[in-house]
Amino acid sequence: MAHGALTDRIYRLMVEAVTGYAICMLDVNGIVLNWSPGAQIAKGYEAQEILGQNFEVFYLESERERLIPQLNLKHALERGRFSEEGWRVRKDGSQFWAHVVIDAMRDEAGDHIGFTKVTCDISAQREVAHSLAYQAGHDALTGLSNRTYFLDQLDAETAQLIYGGRLAVHYVDLDRFKPVNDSFGHAVGDDVLRIVAARLRAVVSPGSLVARLGGDEFAVLQLDMPRSEDTARLAERIVHSLSEPIAVRNAVVVVGASVGVAHAPSHGCEAHTLLRNADLALYRAKENGRGRFEIYDESMNAQALSRGVMELKLRQAMALFDFELYYQPVVEADSLATVGYEALLRWKDQTGKYISPAEFVPLAETLGLMPELGAWVLRRACHDAALWPDDLTVSVNVSTTQLRDRSFVDVVLSALEASRLAPHRLELEVTETAVLSDPDLAGDILGSLRGLGVGIALDDFGTGFSSLRMVKELPLTRIKIDRSFVSGVNETSASAAVIRSVLSLCEGYGLTATAEGVETSEELAVLRQHGCRHVQGFLLGRPQPDAYWRRARADHQQSA
């Protein structure tokens, strides 16, 4: 057998053995000269059906129209080899994604004599790659885009703003999601997040991108926005949709949402700037009561800077617990004898300026510092009270965060044991707002604390919508009448009627009443007349450090 014939024979045997690839030989015009068994399997044509045909039969019509086969051969001729990926078609019309390599062949004289073409079906690999890419860019729980994909798309869209157009970023945060997880478990919480995702998809316009940024935070990229009013309408739809009750498994929950909005280009032309500004607007929405939306304005930058400075100072103070407790006396209305003190947190920064609790306590809540700070207040108050006469009580305010944590019962028990303060001498004050964040959990925690012998007071009574229900359902020992009803009260005022009703309510439920904010003798006289047992306010004593009251008690004993 001649050397050339032997080579051809070996080549055919090799081609026939490689069944995973479609291998064919083409002449200089793209006519099929040889056809491997792998090609028959991959493309469905018998050899006799395809030999002599132009190889463009394997391409989709759209690609034929764009002369891709000729271009492929041209590139292979110029470079010696050409490779590409694209859709190919089988005899039965089905399509597959192929990786194709075309090599130009030349004879010994260097003349072009044809091509070899190797095609591999990589549809499965492509599907896996697409699946991995989808997983990398999407949230597994909700199916929404994830933070990475959202930021990539936002980057791409803001880059196009140089050609005109507008867009908006809506930063969405659920208002009451943590209590859902705490009360019903993470399985219900996951279902709630899926429903939230579906509602967000339903309210946005086609073409807008919805993403879950993490936890209970979501974002919407609103494109092709002709007017600012459109962003407000979408934000309003989001707030309304997420405020509706969610029926999940055997529970009905209401999570609600706050939304911050930033427009481009008016509020920034870069992705990180827009997201930051939308976040600032979200913070403002939460500050203003939650369940609402706010649109970014420049004043939020100054507020954010101020908040950042205060946050740094607060964290520094937390590192050393550089705080003070002041105590305001609670007195018996008739005798004016002191029956206890309310512990009030004070913070003086490094410049010597006292920061209002109305400023730093909400920030501590937002930063997640209240459990640690609240535990310190409780330990310190119990320690101080343990050194007082046994007939004096101490009242400590409880934050919303503390009432969401079942371990708070252990925190209280630890403070009592460390100080050796009798449980009945400690009273915990809760607000209606704190209880309403998760009424069932708060009720369980307060019930356990009452079981220890600790007193429970409902603060700011009369300022909320569910005060009467609270009295009925919570294990209370005291009601504190809000100062708004005490201020300026006289016998003929409407506030006097409210006070009479509250005192009657306390009598019916066996509770003690304390009136807050007593500042004049006339106010005290009205409260005495209607039988209010305990009073508190500047008329009777301003908040002072413990050392001040110790000296006052010592002076009183000496004078007696």
pLDDT at 425 over 90: yes
Mean per-residue pLDDT, 188-194: 92
Cis before 329? omega within 30: no
More confident residue, 435 or 307: 435
Q: Which CATH number fits domain 138-297: 3.40.50.1110, 3.40.50.720, 3.20.20.70, 3.30.70.270?
A: 3.30.70.270
Task: Show me where the domains of the chain are located.
Answer: 3-127, 138-297, 312-559
Mean per-residue pLDDT, 215-219: 93
Which tens digit of pLDDT belongs to each residue from 504-551? 988 889 999 999 999 999 999 999 998 999 999 999 999 999 999 999
More confident residue, 202 or 303: 202
Distance CA 516, CA 289 (A): 25
Which superfamily is assigned to 312-559 in CATH?
EAL domain (3.20.20.450)
CB-based contacts of 98-104 (< 8 A; 24+ apart in sequence):
98/122, 100/72, 102/72, 102/73, 102/75, 102/76, 103/76, 104/76, 104/77, 104/79, 104/80
More confident residue, 401 or 129: 401
Which tens digit of pLDDT belongs to each residue from 439-472? 888 889 999 999 999 999 998 786 655 567 778 8
Q: Which helix (H) or strand (E) holds 284?
A: helix 271-287
pLDDT for position 104: 85
CATH topology of domain 3-127: Beta-Lactamase (3.30.450)
pLDDT for position 331: 96
> What's the pLDDT band for 431 if we cut at 50, 70, 90?
confident
The pairing of beta strand 81-89 with beta strand 167-174: unpaired
What average pLDDT does the chain have? 84
